[in-house]
Each structure stands twice: as structure tokens, then as C-alpha cells.
Amino acid sequence: MVTLRALECLVALADEGSMTRAAAVLHMSQPALSHQIAAVERELGTPVAERMKRGVRFTAAGRATVEEARRALEAADRAVQVGRRVGEGLGGRLRVACAETMTPWLLLPVLRRWRRRWPEVQLDLQEFTSSDRMVECLMANGTDLVVGPEPTSTTAHVEVLGQEEIVIVASADHPFARRESVAVPELAGEPFVHYHAENGMAIWVDQFVASHRTMLDVTLRTFSPRTAAQLAGAGLGVTIVPVSALWGRFPAEVRRIEPRVHRDILAVTLVPSDSLVRRFVADLRRRGLPQVDTAARIDLSRIDT
């Protein structure tokens, strides 16, 4: 395989027309230059130039190779420039996978900032309802960064961004609306809006209420915590959601669980040294997780830009 250095020597020889001048331009000895040209000729199986009394004369094969060598060197230079820009965080592509409730609650302000400050960085966003599925996507090179609750297990690099509270949602005319908090055993006998198994919250809720020796009376299931909160607010039952699912305006009463319950929100990546990943995670840390008043409605227009 011909090296870029050998192609660089070939182009310099063509431009200068002399072994002496080409060696001087490249800051190398003539024997070293001759060695590189000989390597090209061995690869081609034919001479590229003939030495004359005054300079060199290129063969047809040599001239054709020089043309392609110029393109190869230009492409190599572009590759270096692109790599440098991406390394500096000024370009490239960042693929982010997040829990579907994280987009408006946590990621939106950072995504807006990146679009304004670094428009040459392509941002790809995928939303999931399962942390385990996100990690599977990461391990299969389908994304660069995962943002969401803790998966069952992972060997990737993990950083804790903060904690998110888990709360109970009910309609305005439900007895829970007159309470400051609700204990888990009080959910027994209440119509409950639950989750399909594909949503990671389904297993979490089942394990959580089982730890309190409580059985749920499931009235319907949904794939989305946001939908679960809206259904509960409409009087179809009560539900348990992360506070990130409440981002937006809808009629519902939100009550803390007694005692209060939180879950870690993580940033997970296989390449913590990647400049784009590192800066995106730093921005998430700088902003922090939104502080939510669970006794008040949450308005999307309040997101800080």
C-alpha cells in the first residue's frame, strides 16, 4: 500500500521537476526521496519518471498517478480539518437517546442552545420508553449518549446528573386532591392507570408497590407516563409518574408519595472522551435537573432558554 508520504513525494517531484528541489521543499534528503518514489514504482509495477540531464520526465503512468495523488492528498487534508473541527466541538454529529419524558423536561433548553451556538453540529434525537432498550441501542452503536433513568445493568461509562421525584397523579375531584401526600398502601382498591410491559415504568411500579405489600387495581394501560398523567387527571384512575412526565399544562392534581421517592437520572456513554459527548453532558450538568413544585401545575412556557 502506497503511503500518503510517498504520494506527497511524487507530487512534489512533479511540481518541482527536480529531485534536488523536491527534496529541499520536503525537508528530506535525496536518497530518502528516491526511496519513496521507488516504493510508488514497486506498487505500480512500472516507472513513474525518468531522470534527465536537467530534471525528470514523467511517464504516462506517472502523470496519471500524480493527478490521483493530488486528490488523495486534498482528501486527507480535508479529513484532518474535519476531524479537528469536530474535536473542537465545532462540527460533526451527536446522537442522543433519551427517555421520552426527558425531551421537554431536561433536554430542550440544551438542544436550543446547541442549535443557536453550533449550527454545524448535527443533532439526532431518539426517544425510548425503556432504559434497557436505550443501552442496547448504545452498545449496538446506534447512539452516542443515553439520558434517562438507571438501566438494569451496563458496562458503559455512567454519570449521575441528579435525582427525579416520583409522584402520584389524580383528578381534581379525587380525595387525594385534598391531601399533601399519599402513602402507597392507600392506592389499594383505587382504579390505577398502569403501563404496558414495554415501558420500563411497568416493572418499576410493580416492584415498588410490591415492596409495600400493595396490590393495584389496573383499569387500563398506556405506553407513556405523560399519557398516564393526563388520563389520571381526566378521572380515569390514579397513576404513578416521574415528574418529568408533568411538563406541560393539563388539569391534574400532583401529590408526593409518603415517604418521598426519587430515582437517579444518568448520562451513559461508551466514549466519555468524545468532545461532543463531553460538552453535552457538561451542559446538562450546568443546567441541572429542573426543580418541580409538585403542588403546582407545570407550564412548558416556563422552560429557561
Question: Is it the case that residue 47 has pLDDT exceeding 90?
Answer: yes
Check pLDDT > 70 for residue 190: yes
> What confidence tens digit (pLDDT) does each residue in 102-144 have?
999 999 999 999 999 999 899 999 999 999 999 999 999 999 9
Burial class (CB in 10 A: 0-12, 13-18, 19+), 208: middle
Helix intervals (H) in the chain: 4-16, 19-25, 30-44, 60-87, 102, 108-117, 131-139, 200-211, 225-233, 275-287
- pLDDT band with cut points at 50, 70 and 90 for residue 301: very low
Section 86-101 average pLDDT: 85
The pLDDT value recorded for residue 293 is: 58
| pLDDT for the residue numbered 304 | 41
The per-residue pLDDT for 88 is: 67
pLDDT of residue 82: 74
pLDDT band at 65 (very low <50, low <70, confident <90, very high): very high
Local structure of residue 300 (DSSP, 8 states): G
**Is the distance from CB of 110 to CB of 284 less than 8 angstroms?**
yes
Looking at CATH, the fold of the domain delimited by 98-161+264-291 is given as D-Maltodextrin-Binding Protein; domain 2 (3.40.190)
Q: What is the CA radius of gyration of the chain?
A: 31
Euclidean distance between CA atoms 88 and 274, whole angstroms = 10
Mean pLDDT in residue range 277-281:
95
In this prediction, residue 298 has a pLDDT band, given cuts at 50, 70 and 90, of very low
222-253 tens-digit pLDDT: 999 999 999 999 999 999 999 999 987 778 99
For the beta carbon of residue 241, count every other beta carbon within 10 angstroms. 27
pLDDT of residue 294: 53
What is the pLDDT, as a whole number, of residue 302? Answer: 39
Tens-place pLDDT, residues 28-40: 999 999 999 999 9
Residue 299 is predicted with a pLDDT of 37
Average pLDDT over the chain, rounded to an integer: 91
- Tell me whether the CATH fold assigned to 4-87 matches the one assigned to 163-263: no
- Specify whether domain 4-87 bears CATH 1.10.10.10: yes
Confidence at residue 10, expressed as pLDDT on a 0 to 100 scale: 92
pLDDT of residue 300 exceeding 50, the answer is no
Q: How confident is the model at residue 83 (pLDDT cuts 50, 70, 90)?
A: confident
Supply 68's cell numbers. 490521483
CATH fold of 163-263: D-Maltodextrin-Binding Protein; domain 2 (3.40.190)
Q: What is the pLDDT of residue 292?
A: 63
Q: What's the rounded Cα separation, in Å, for the pair 63 and 11?
A: 10
Q: Domain ranges for the chain, please list them.
A: 4-87, 98-161+264-291, 163-263
Tell me phi and psi for residue 254, to 5 degrees: -110, 125
Q: What average pLDDT does the segment 93-100 reach?
A: 96
Name, in order, each residue with C-beta under 8 angstroms of 261's C-beta and a sequence gap of 6 or more. 165, 166, 208
Task: Quote the distance between the C-alpha of residue 85 and its chain's center.
Answer: 18
Q: What sign does the CA torsion over 271, 275, 280, 286 have?
A: positive
Estimate to the nearest angstrom the gap between the alpha carbon of 51 and the chain centroid. Answer: 56
